[in-house]
Chain A
Amino acid sequence: MKRLAFIILVTISVINEVNGQGHGPLYGLQTPTLAKGGFDFNAAAMSLATEDDQSFMLRYIWSYGVTEDLQINITTPTMVNRLSEAPRTRGNNNMPANGDIEASVWYRFFSNAFGVGKRFESTAILSVSTPTEEIRSGINVSNSIHGAISTGYASRTWYAWVGCGYQYYFEEGNDQLGDLPYVSLVVGYRPNIFMGDYPKPDWRIFVESLAEFPGANISEGQLTPVDQRGKKVMLGPSFLGLYGAWGISFGALFPVYQDVTQGPKEEYRLSMNISYWL
């Protein structure tokens, strides 16, 4: 109950500050980039629950469209409660789930707008991150790089994105966090009832899934505890509402398969995000 009350409190505080996510899925990789010269501010409340503990974090991201196909972003966290044993995951699609500060570039290298409201497009993402803590899950944590690619279809009714990514942590003090390959798949739908024309509000629902394969950590130069990659598949719904320059999205992911070799098992992930396009 305390956890629920805290989540609501965090959510309300985020709303009062003006904030949220892009106009695609919440967790999975997406493709849209800002207009040339466009500016976007997001804020998110994120929580990740394991069998032992639960993290809470507020996260902010500022994005700028250099061209209609090239977008730069920077995201910073406010950690409310860190996990002593943190699962390795990307979190929201453009935000780390841990305490990293991250700068990223999105390049939409392919776009084919082939109908009214219809687009098929592909985007590449390159990020660099630096941690805000010295030790994560008992391991000296370092800077990391992240690359991802996503391709998808958007229309007024149906949406689908598939993507994959890879995060690599550098060595720090003879320790090294394991790498993180992952795959995401998202399907979205907007019911007829929400087909009102602009500027009426616009809602859609997504089913999102993430498959993550965290590699083993290296501690004091040794692989720990075994050189074996974890496997985790998360699945859940998210909802996105858009009105003019505002967007709000919220959703949850639940594990449908977990075979982790390090750290605790996950129970769920919650996130809420508010966007404002300046």
Chain B
Amino acid sequence: MTIFSLSGVMAQLIKVDQEVFGMDCAPCAYGLERGLKKMDGLESVRVSLNDGKAYLKLASANELTLQKIQEVVKSNGFSARNAEVALKGELLKEGNEWRIKVNGETFKVSDDTTSDILSKLNPGNIQLKGLVKDEEDGELTGKWNFRIIEIL
């Protein structure tokens, strides 16, 4: 029980490279950068027009969610698409599905994760890097499909 509580506290996003569609100009990037910087729990933010991405490093203790990040993108008039996310938390197996919960969000390990990586998964605390697939901006629920690309 103590171990579960500790793992719950440490579960968090570490790094998010958020793909942003529709951002074409310097004031667009400026506005998005400023909007993202208003969120608590960030260590750094960099916005690239040419990559069409916002690169976020999160503070060691943060309560940020991917949904919150994508809502800021939307409120700036752009579309949040796929994201590369590094996170840590407790990996759980429910039936045949692997899940990890971070700050109230659920990252469900998707079927297209390679079998090599899937074979290395064990329940418990873990750090992962993976791709979160695009969800409709207006229908975000905090439940994500997560294709693991690396166990950190």
Asked whether A118 and B25 contact (CB < 8 A) given A33-B77, A35-B75, A68-B76, the answer is: no
Is there contact, CB below 8 Å, between A198 and B30?
yes
Q: Which chain A residues lie closer than 8 Å to B32 at the CB level? A: 35
- The answer to whether A232 has its CB under 8 Å from any CB of chain B is no
Contact with A along B31-45 (1 / 0, CB 8 A): 111010000000000
- The answer to whether A154 has its CB under 8 Å from any CB of chain B is yes
Q: What are the 7 closest A-B residue pairs judged by CB atoms, nearest first?
A: A113-B22, A116-B52, A198-B29, A113-B79, A113-B21, A242-B26, A36-B75
Closest partner residue, chain B, to A200 (CB atom): B26
- The answer to whether A38 has its CB under 8 Å from any CB of chain B is yes
Q: Which chain B residues lie closer than 8 Å to A247 at the CB level? A: 26-27
* A203–B105 alpha-carbon span in the complex (Å): 41
Is there contact, CB below 8 Å, between A35 and B22?
no
- The answer to whether B96 has its CB under 8 Å from any CB of chain A is no
Q: Of the candidates B21, B33, B49, B75, which one forms a contact with A37 in the assembled complex, judged by CB atoms under 8 Å apart?
A: B75
Is there contact, CB below 8 Å, between B77 and A69?
yes
Is there contact, CB below 8 Å, between B29 and A156?
no
Closest Cβ of chain B to A8, distance in Å, is: 26
Is there contact, CB below 8 Å, between A111 and B77?
yes
Is there contact, CB below 8 Å, between A117 and B52?
yes
Closest Cβ of chain B to A47, distance in Å, is: 26
Q: Which chain B residues lie closer than 8 Å to A32 at the CB level? A: 77
Is there contact, CB below 8 Å, between B76 and A35?
yes
Is there contact, CB below 8 Å, between A244 and B30?
yes
Asked whether A23 and B28 contact (CB < 8 A) given A32-B77, A119-B22, the answer is: yes
Q: Is the interface of B mostly helix, strand, loop or mixed?
A: mixed
Q: Could you tell me which A residues sit within 8 Å of B by CB distance?
A: 23, 32-38, 67-69, 108, 111, 113-119, 154-156, 195, 197-199, 201-202, 242-245, 247, 275, 277
* A260–B52 alpha-carbon span in the complex (Å): 47
Closest Cβ of chain B to A194, distance in Å, is: 10
Is there contact, CB below 8 Å, between B30 and A277?
yes
Closest partner residue, chain A, to B46 (CB atom): A198
Asked whether A116 and B26 contact (CB < 8 A) given A37-B75, A111-B77, A198-B48, the answer is: no
Asked whether A198 and B47 contact (CB < 8 A) given A35-B31, A277-B31, the answer is: yes
Closest partner residue, chain B, to A277 (CB atom): B27
* A70–B59 alpha-carbon span in the complex (Å): 34
* A124–B118 alpha-carbon span in the complex (Å): 51
Asked whether A119 and B24 contact (CB < 8 A) given A156-B49, A197-B49, the answer is: yes
Is there contact, CB below 8 Å, between A35 and B24?
no
Q: Which chain A residues lie closer than 8 Å to B29 at the CB level? A: 198-199
Closest Cβ of chain B to A45, distance in Å, is: 21
- The answer to whether B23 has its CB under 8 Å from any CB of chain A is yes
Asked whether A199 and B26 contact (CB < 8 A) given A36-B75, A68-B76, the answer is: yes
Is there contact, CB below 8 Å, between A245 and B22?
no
- The answer to whether B119 has its CB under 8 Å from any CB of chain A is no
Q: Which chain A residues lie closer than 8 Å to B26 at the CB level? A: 23, 198-199, 201-202, 242-244, 247
* A117–B50 alpha-carbon span in the complex (Å): 8
